[in-house]
Amino acid sequence: MLLENKVVVVTGGSRGIGRAIALASAREGADVAINYWGDNDKSYNKGSAVETIIKEIEKLGRRAIAVEGNVADHATGKTLIERTVEAFGRVDVLSSNAGICPFHAFLDMPPSVYETTVAVNLNGAFFVTQAAANQMKTQGTGGAIIATSSISALVGGGMQTHYTPTKAGVHSLMQSCAIALGPYGIRCNSVMPGTIATDLNAEDLSDKEKRAYMEKRIPLGRLGEPDDVAQCVVFLASDRARYVTGASLLVDGGLFVNLQ
């Protein structure tokens, strides 16, 4: 019970890695506030993604709320934190996880694709972190902020020229926030997932040759699972990482070192 009686906020928490983070936090004893964006909350076989995750958390004996909002809107972070405090009384952990990656060639990329990616991935992380940090400062008991960056922060991507800078920015944001928020006992770290198999990329990974090629590049011999990332987020959120701040944890099965 690494997060017993803590309150965890997860952006982009209804699907993929965010969903795994929300569930892992609940299993470790936390109440969870899940931010989701309705346009991305497509149906699972058992109903909408956010309804499903709320029910799963409640079955674990923990409380959960869902707060809809696009993190690209500056007001979403503030609203999310306010709703969380109304429901649970405090915020102890923020998992800033919401992000998008619409692949597109560089030379003919429309400004709208670039601007939307920056607005969600970087601006969204900035403003939700700011809102959570102000609440943690007011509480006076410290806290933990973990942002989902990416291995793409460290390597290039020909179809990701708009995406990789945002993930490098998220990594840099956590380093700077570690300095700015350290005096308040707020630790700021990031995780850098490699290739993680989720429902969002299931169709792409159904190509057996492509999947085999990707697995061959990973020293551990398999693609990552959302819970691989979630367990690292739980660690960084817990008191076991009480002296860890400004760090970035690669969760990629060794892919990055094999690319060097």
Active site residues: 150, 163, 167
Measured CA to CA in angstroms, residue 15 lies from 31, 52, 105, 154, 257 at distances of 18, 10, 26, 25, 28
The three-state (H, E, C) secondary structure of the chain, written as one string:
CCCCCCEEEECCCCCHHHHHHHHHHHHCCCEEEEEECHHHCCEECCEEHHHHHHHHHHHCCCCEEEEECCCCCHHHHHHHHHHHHHHHCCCCEEEECCCCCCCCCCCCCCHHHHHHHHHHHHHHHHHHHHHHHHHHHHHCCCEEEEEECCHHHCCCCCCCCCCHHHHHHHHHHHHHHHHHHHHHCEEEEEEEECCECCCCCHHHHCCHHHHHHHHHHCCCCCCECHHHHHHHHHHHHCHHHCCCCCCEEEECCCHHHHHC
Q: How far apart are CA 15 and CA 88, in angstroms?
A: 22
Q: How far apart are CA 70 and CA 41, in angstroms?
A: 12
